[in-house]
Amino acid sequence: MSEAPLKRTPLHAAHVAAGARMVPFGGWDMPVQYTGILDEHRTVRGAVGLFDVSHMGEFECNGPAALAALQSVTTNDVAALEIGQVQYSVFCYPNGTIVDDLTVYRLAADRYMLTVNASNIDKDYAWVTHHAKAARWRNVSDQTGLIAVQGPKAEALVGRLADQDVTKIGYYRFARGAVAGVATLISRTGYTGEDGFELYAAAADTPRLWTALLDAGRADGVASIGLGARDTLRLEMKYALYGNDIDDTTTPLEAGLGWVVKPAKGDFVGRDALEKIRAEGVRRRLIGIEMVDTAIARHGYPVRRDGREVGIVTSGSYGPSVDKYIAMAYVETALAAVGTALAVEVRGQGKAARVVKTPFHPSRVKRA
Amino acid sequence: MANVPKDLKYTREHEWAKQEGDSVRVGITAYAQEQLGDVVFVELPKVGAKVTATKNFGVVESVKAVSDLFAPISGEVVEINGELSQKPETVNQDPYGRGWMIVVKPSNKGEWDQLLTAQQYEDFLARAAH
């Protein structure tokens, strides 16, 4: 890794002042926890939490060539996207493995915004400007702050501060407006499995928005939430994390993201490879497992069946809301069925596990 | 500064050791549990197992990390804290009390003097903070 100094979000000073434990994450100095991961996890499931996700990258893609450009570089069908709608998607390499996962926002007829993973900003920007150069691209990551407000009380909290009725914003939809007087793109999206919003604002305005949300949410039991709980929350939903569960060695088909691969829309980078894999059938699948023996399966631990190595763990921890040790793992397709008995090799010892239905914890996102 | 009881001895890996008659009770320090964050899993040896000073005798896992436990002293494990398998958070709540991990019957009493005193451990923590 490079020795470059860690980058800071517009909320860095607020995290330090709040006593957060700061850690390096994807080149950024980020809060991993404030009071404790379990406590923060439960705050999001039971009330509402604020996440600083300003480290994530935002690109604008504009002009008459924007749609064609995005169609050629993402796997999902951007033509299906209405103005005001958000779409989950993937950039693939020609061999079908994953450059990054992202969300695409249609801002206007010929204007889009893409949100990408923090650690991939430079790689992704080079990728899109090379493979989709007909559009006008702008990397606005440094000018853009992003706060996720997640939990059963998120709608009430954002609603109290917004200049509009946010209950009208459907899942994977967004509206422009003001929240606490700050110009904001209010997106009904998230990474926790709870109802909530992601609020995009100018970097300079982001601390004011953060403080207003904390103040207004006090009666709701609002708290700031670190990356530690963000990880356990997304794990309980089996949401993939780039670098852990998906990367340049995995395809969206085996990762359970086949629903965002739309070959019928026309050509895109990776299409031929993905069509071939789909026709032949995937050799392995990303599944959810629950430990039967008491042990925690961690990223990189081998998965075995009758002593034979049949897969690998990609994410694993204690799931605070399910109160079990849970994990995500790639296993051979024949062993991916719910109920299949497996063993995870933990420090040289086989620990019993089984394939379970996912998400591990029921999703409470607000679907239209 | 983290709580460092005067009547205990310590390792540089943040275990504490307490003389109780012929036996030594072992756990991790307040500093250690605070650094780990929420403890969600503790793996201990079985009663009757032999442990060796400075060698790994078990594992403590927080949500984010796996950490080895190191024996302050060599000997036979005569008792383990079974409560930790159901309530690993006890390590966070009461690291010097109900969060203890094992009791060892020492095989080499000379090792006791190799351990850090409370003052030495406090100095060690202070240096680590810089």
Tally of domains within chain A: 2
In a domain, A42, yes or no: yes
CA B93, B94, B100 angle in degrees (round to 5)? 125
Please list, residue by residue across A186-195, b when 16 or more beta carbons sit within 10 angstroms of its beta carbon and e when fewer do.
Answer: bbbbbbbbbb
In a domain, A7, yes or no: no
Asked if pLDDT for residue A367 goes beyond 80, the answer is no
Alpha-carbon gap: A315 to the closest alpha carbon of chain B (Å): 11
pTM of this structure: 0.95
Residue to substitute from A294, A315, A326, A344, interface B, most B β-carbons within 10 A: A294
Residues of B in contact with A234 (CB under 8 A): none
Residues of A in contact with B63 (CB under 8 A): 37-38, 228, 231-232, 317-318
Q: Chain A residues with CB-CB distance to B under 8 A?
A: 21, 32-33, 36-39, 228, 231-232, 294-296, 298, 317-318, 325, 347
CA-based nearest residue in chain B for residue A32 = B64
Residues A163 and A34 in one domain: yes
pLDDT score at A169: 98
Alpha-carbon gap: B59 to the closest alpha carbon of chain A (Å): 10
CA-based nearest residue in chain A for residue B85 = A294
Residues A229 and A147 in one domain: yes
Asked if pLDDT for residue A148 goes beyond 90, the answer is yes
Residues of A in contact with B67 (CB under 8 A): none
Mean pLDDT of A141-164: 98
Q: What pLDDT band is residue A3 in, cutting at 50, 70 and 90?
A: low
pLDDT score at B109: 87
Rg (CA), chain B: 14
A318, B64: Cβ pair inside 8 Å? no
- Partner A contacted by B40 (CB < 8 A): yes
Query: For the segment A9-64, what is each residue's pLDDT rounded down to a tens digit?
Result: 999 999 999 999 999 998 999 999 999 999 999 999 999 999 999 999 999 999 99
CA A327, A256, A155 angle in degrees (round to 5)? 80
B66, A296: Cβ pair inside 8 Å? yes
Residues A229 and A337 in one domain: no
Which residues, other chains included, contact A190 with Cβ-Cβ below 8 Å and sequence gap of 6+?
A148, A150, A196, A197, A198, A365
Q: Are A42 and A1 in contact (CB under 8 A)?
A: no
Alpha-carbon gap: B38 to the closest alpha carbon of chain A (Å): 6
Residues of A in contact with B43 (CB under 8 A): 295
> Which residue from A149, A189, A148, A184 is spatially nearest to A169, judged by alpha carbons?
A189
Residues A47 and A147 in one domain: yes
Distance CA A112, CA A91 (A): 15
Residues A225 and A147 in one domain: yes
Query: For the segment A327-338, what is each residue's pLDDT rounded down to a tens digit?
Result: 999 999 999 999
Asked if pLDDT for residue A303 goes beyond 90, the answer is yes
Of A204, A236, A268, the last residue of a domain is A236
Strand-by-strand arrangement of the A174-179 sheet? A174-179, A182-187, A196-202, A144-150, A49-52, A223-225
pLDDT score at A91: 98
Asked if pLDDT for residue A1 goes beyond 60, the answer is no
For domain B9-128, give its CATH number from 2.40.50.100, 3.40.50.620, 1.10.645.10, 1.10.760.10: 2.40.50.100
Rg (CA), chain A: 20
Mean pLDDT of B40-57: 97
What share of chain A in percent tops pLDDT 90? Answer: 98
Q: What pLDDT band is residue B129 in, cutting at 50, 70 and 90?
A: confident
- Which residue in this structure is represented by tokens 């993905």? A274
Of A206, A236, A266, the last residue of a domain is A236
Q: What pLDDT band is residue A368 in, cutting at 50, 70 and 90?
A: low
Which residues, other chains included, contact A158 with Cβ-Cβ below 8 Å and sequence gap of 6+?
A149, A166, A179, A186, A197, A199, A213
Residues of A in contact with B61 (CB under 8 A): 296
CA-based nearest residue in chain A for residue B42 = A295
CA-based nearest residue in chain A for residue B33 = A36
Q: What pLDDT band is residue B84 in, cutting at 50, 70 and 90?
A: very high
Mean pLDDT of A73-96: 98
In a domain, A85, yes or no: no
CB contacts under 8 A, B 63-92 vs A, are 63-64, 66, 85, 89
Q: What is the mean pLDDT of chain B?
A: 96
pLDDT score at A2: 52
Asked if pLDDT for residue A257 goes beyond 70, the answer is yes
Q: Are B17 and B26 in contact (CB under 8 A)?
A: yes
Residues A214 and A296 in one domain: no
- Complex-level ipTM beyond the 0.95 threshold: no
Residues A328 and A231 in one domain: no
Show the domain range for A176. Answer: 12-54+142-236
B41, A318: Cβ pair inside 8 Å? yes
State the CATH number of the domain containing residue A306. Answer: 2.40.30.110
Which residues, other chains included, contact B70 with Cβ-Cβ below 8 Å and sequence gap of 6+?
B11, B13, B15, B54, B55, B56, B57
State the CATH number of the domain containing residue A211. Answer: 3.30.1360.120
- Partner A contacted by B38 (CB < 8 A): yes
Chain A / chain B CB contacts < 8 angstroms: 38
Distance CA B113, CA B109 (A): 8
- Partner A contacted by B37 (CB < 8 A): yes
pLDDT score at A97: 98
Q: What pLDDT band is residue B27 in, cutting at 50, 70 and 90?
A: very high
Residues A230 and A295 in one domain: no
Query: For the segment A166-176, what is each residue's pLDDT rounded down to a tens digit?
Result: 999 999 999 99
| Strand bridging mode A182-187 / A302-305 | unpaired
Residues A287 and A226 in one domain: no
